[in-house]
């Protein structure tokens, strides 16, 4: 039942703090709950940190208005070593759907700040930031009440940038790390944020801050030096005598989970079924959360250009795009969904025939085995993120391709390009003709070249795992 194995009183305690707990809770009755583990890079990485005794602290993701419910949920989560932070509906909305998803997220990905006139809600910048401040403070209180002398606190992501400051106010000896899973943008972009100084100086109260790439780390240091006028080097920032270390540590995946899954009979059966379904066709795979940063419209339009130029391919190549809807309470995400549907419809109407359509598009989540089977049977994976902290889909595809040795087409704007660049075909997702040409190059690539590129990336993905990432950062 525990998320983490091998607890012992002699182990170093680690408090992992993230916006969401690694399990989602569903209420079954007044005081009974069911849970589902949300598998992702963070969860699998931290499950692999065996030398620490870890606890998770995060928002349960559900609104629990009554005290009985809160008590029951807290007790049930304690068995899973999870500690919930409870947020009321309005605070959660303005903090999460507002400040986090409509303000900081787009800014970190170079999409700029929303214009208040264009906001479909009545929330002002100030009220959203107030909710963000309130939630960061609530997290600090929960952490403080569970903290024991000597614990290491590892905070994740842009949702909790004020937290290091609050925690140091409670206890200046607390050891605090903060890791950003998203890109840190150029300081010219970051400085447009009204609360830039407050956020940066709060983050600098951490002892260690980590990023996926050298570029992100450099941008962060340069934002600190230009906005706060503090001293910085590529490895550290000094603010009023306090030194914050800056580390570059790209996340990996739990590669064995994938390499083992594709050997399972159940997955092999799925692979065979998909091969029969797409017999005689080359399959290009896209797997993304439906988010503007993933460049899904650009991917579809580039594929359209490829079909326009390569008439003979129209019934021989399919693009299988899985786009899991997320953040559907945010208006921009609703708009994106209908825009994408419209483009798919247009391309299929233009290039389809009575017995085939070039784009198979699903906007739902698929289970892990089906995902592995799709990764394993596809000829090409197409990742066209406009900006992306890392992009785990690229690594997952590589991990499942050891017998097929398909080609990864990867955006130069994904953090993954720094590590998988030598094996992937790198593209600028905004250069639609360039992406169309890369699709042609990938589909025609000679076996020896595919082999060499794949070997490079497979070696990387299986030796730079999520477990190593977590161990490195915490140590």
Site for ligand ADQ in 413-432 (CB under 6 A): none
3-state class percentages of the chain: helix first, strand second, coil last, to nearest 5: 45, 20, 30
Residue 217 makes contact with ligand ADQ by CB under 6 A: no
28 phi and psi angles, rounded to 5 deg: -105, -30
Residue located via tokens 């992501």: 157
Compute the least distance from the CB of residue 7 to ligand ADQ, in Å: 26
CB closer to ligand ADQ, 40 vs 440: 40
Q: What are the backbone angles phi and psi of residue 29, rounded to the nearest 5°?
A: -155, -170
Q: How many residues belong to the site for ligand ADQ (CB under 6 A)?
A: 20
Between 86 and 258, name the residue whose CB sits nearer to ligand ADQ.
Answer: 258
Please list the active-site residues.
181, 388
Using only C-alpha atoms, what is the Rg of the chain? Answer: 23
Buried b (16+ CB within 10 A) or exposed e, 29-67: eeeebebeeeebbbbbbbbbbeebbbbbbbbbbbebeee
Query: Which CB sits closer to ligand ADQ, 55 or 181?
Result: 181
From residue 257 to residue 296, the character string flagging contacts with ligand ADQ as x (rule: CB under 6 A) and all else as - is ------------------------------xxx-------
Q: Does position 138 bind ligand ADQ by CB under 6 A?
A: no
From candidates 7, 27, 31, 40, binder to ligand ADQ by CB under 6 A: 40
Among 111, 113, 227, 324, binds ligand ADQ (CB under 6 A): 324
First to last CA, the chain: 26
**Which residues within the stretch 378-397 sit at the binding site for ligand ADQ (CB under 6 A)?**
388-393, 396
Is residue 193 within 8 Å of 107, Cβ to Cβ?
yes
Q: Which of 338, 281, 355 is nearest to 312 (CA)?
A: 281
Is the Cβ of residue 112 or residue 150 nearer to ligand ADQ in the bound state?
A: 112
Among 204, 251, 301, 424, which residue interacts with ligand ADQ (rule: CB under 6 A)? 251
Cβ count within 10 A of residue 151: 19
410 binds ligand ADQ (CB under 6 A): no
DSSP assignment letter at 353: B
Are 235 and 246 in contact by the 8 Å Cβ rule? The answer is: yes
Question: Taking CB under 6 A as the criterion, which residues in 361-380 touch ligand ADQ?
Answer: 365-366, 371
Is 322 among the residues that bind ligand ADQ (CB under 6 A)?
Answer: yes
Q: Which is nearer to ligand ADQ, 138 or 366 (CB)?
A: 366
Q: Are 460 and 326 in contact (CB under 8 A)?
A: no
> Phi-psi category of 280—alpha, beta or left, where left has phi over 0 and alpha has psi -120 to 50?
left
Q: Is there binding between residue 440 and ligand ADQ (CB under 6 A)? A: no
Contact 129, 99 (CB under 8 A): yes
- Decide if residue 41 touches ligand ADQ (CB under 6 A): yes
Residue 104 or 251: the one with the smaller Cβ distance to ligand ADQ is 251
Locate 335 and state its tokens: 């708009």
The contact set with ligand ADQ (CB under 6 A) reads 40-41, 181-182, 251, 287-289, 322, 324, 365-366, 371, 388-393, 396
């Amino acid at each position: 039942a525990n998320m983490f194995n091998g607890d012992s009183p002699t182990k170093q305690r680690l408090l992992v703090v993230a916006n969401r707990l690694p399990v989602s809770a569903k209420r079954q009755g007044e005081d009974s709950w069911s849970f589902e583990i949300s598998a992702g890079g963070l969860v699998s990485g931290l499950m692999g940190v065996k030398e620490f005794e870890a606890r998770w602290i995060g928002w349960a993701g559900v609104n629990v208005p009554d005290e009985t419910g809160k008590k029951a949920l807290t007790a049930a989560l304690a068995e899973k070593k999870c500690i919930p932070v409870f947020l009321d509906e309005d605070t959660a909305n303005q903090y999460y759907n507002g400040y986090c998803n409509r303000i900081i997220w787009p800014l970190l990905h170079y999409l700029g700040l929303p214009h208040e006139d264009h906001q479909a809600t009545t929330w002002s910048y100030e009220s959203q930031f107030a909710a963000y401040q309130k939630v960061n403070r609530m997290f600090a209180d929960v952490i403080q009440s569970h903290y024991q002398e000597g614990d290491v606190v590892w905070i994740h992501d842009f949702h909790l940038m004020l937290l290091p400051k609050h925690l140091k106010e409670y206890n200046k000896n607390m050891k605090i790390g903060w890791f950003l899973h998203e890109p840190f943008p150029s300081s010219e972009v970051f400085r447009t944020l009204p609360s830039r100084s407050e956020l940066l100086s709060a983050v600098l109260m951490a002892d260690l801050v980590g990023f996926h790439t050298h570029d992100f780390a450099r941008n962060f240091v340069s934002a600190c030096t230009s906005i706060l006028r503090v001293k910085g080097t590529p490895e550290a920032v000094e603010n009023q005598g306090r030194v914050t270390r800056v580390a570059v540590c790209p996340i990996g995946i739990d590669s064995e989970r994938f390499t083992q899954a594709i050997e399972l009979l159940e997955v092999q059966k799925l692979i065979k079924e998909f091969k029969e379904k797409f017999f005689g066709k080359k399959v290009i795979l896209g797997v993304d959360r439906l988010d503007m940063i993933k460049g899904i419209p650009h991917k579809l339009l580039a594929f359209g250009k490829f079909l326009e130029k390569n008439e003979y391919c129209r019934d021989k190549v399919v693009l299988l795009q899985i786009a899991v809807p997320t953040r559907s309470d945010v208006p921009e995400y609703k708009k994106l969904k209908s825009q994408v549907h419209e483009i798919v419809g247009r391309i299929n109407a233009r290039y389809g025939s009575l017995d085939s359509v070039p784009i198979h598009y699903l906007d739902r989540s698929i289970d892990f085995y089906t995902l592995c089977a799709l990764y394993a049977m596809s000829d090409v994976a197409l990742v066209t993120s406009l900006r992306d902290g890392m992009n785990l889909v690229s690594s997952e595809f590589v991990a499942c391709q050891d017998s097929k040795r398909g080609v990864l087409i990867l955006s130069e704007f994904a953090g993954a390009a720094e590590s998988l660049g030598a094996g992937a075909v790198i593209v600028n997702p905004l250069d639609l003709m360039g992406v169309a040409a890369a699709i042609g190059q990938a589909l025609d690539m000679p076996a020896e070249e595919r082999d060499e590129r794949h070997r490079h990336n497979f070696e990387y993905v299986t030796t730079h795992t999520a477990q190593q990432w977590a161990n490195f950062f915490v140590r």
